[in-house]
Chains A and B, each alone.
Chain A
Amino acid sequence: KQEVTQIPAALSVPEGENLVLNCSFTDSAIYNLQWFRQDPGKGLTSLLLIQSSQREQTSGRLNASLDKSSGRSTLYIAASQPGDSATYLCAVGSGYSTLTFGKGTMLLVSP
Chain B
Amino acid sequence: EAQVTQNPRYLITVTGKKLTVTCSQNMNHEYMSWYRQDPGLGLRQIYYSMNVEVTDKGDVPEGYKVSRKEKRNFPLILESPSPNQTSLYFCASSLGTGRAYEQYFGPGTRLTVT
Q: Do A and B bind each other?
A: yes
Q: How many A-B residue pairs have CB under 8 A?
A: 67
Shortest distance from the beta carbon of B53 to any chain A beta carbon, whole Å: 16
> Which A residues are in CB contact (< 8 Å) with B43?
89, 91, 99, 101
- A18 interface residue, CB < 8 Å from B? no
Contact check, A46 vs B103: say whether CB atoms are below 8 A apart.
yes
- B45 interface residue, CB < 8 Å from A? yes
- Cα distance A107–B108 when bound, in Å? 21
Which of B43, B50, B100, B104 counts the most chain A CB atoms within 10 A? B43
A34-B102 contact, Cβ under 8 Å, with A43-B108, A102-B42: yes
Number of interface residues of A (CB under 8 A): 26
Number of interface residues of B (CB under 8 A): 27
Interface residues of A (CB under 8 A from B): 31-32, 34, 36, 41-46, 49, 51-53, 89, 91, 93, 95-99, 101-104
Write 22 A-B pairs (CB below 8 A) sorted by A numbering: A31-B98, A32-B98, A34-B102, A41-B110, A42-B108, A43-B90, A43-B105, A43-B107, A43-B108, A44-B105, A49-B100, A49-B102, A91-B103, A93-B99, A97-B97, A98-B45, A99-B33, A99-B43, A99-B45, A99-B103, A102-B42, A104-B42
The 10 tightest CB contacts between A and B, nearest first, are A44-B105, A96-B97, A51-B99, A43-B107, A101-B43, A103-B42, A49-B102, A101-B42, A31-B99, A43-B108
Since A89-B43, A97-B33 are in contact, a sample of 11 more A-B pairs with Cβ atoms closer than 8 Å, ordered by chain A residue number, is: A31-B97, A32-B98, A41-B110, A42-B107, A43-B106, A97-B56, A99-B92, A99-B103, A101-B43, A101-B44, A103-B40
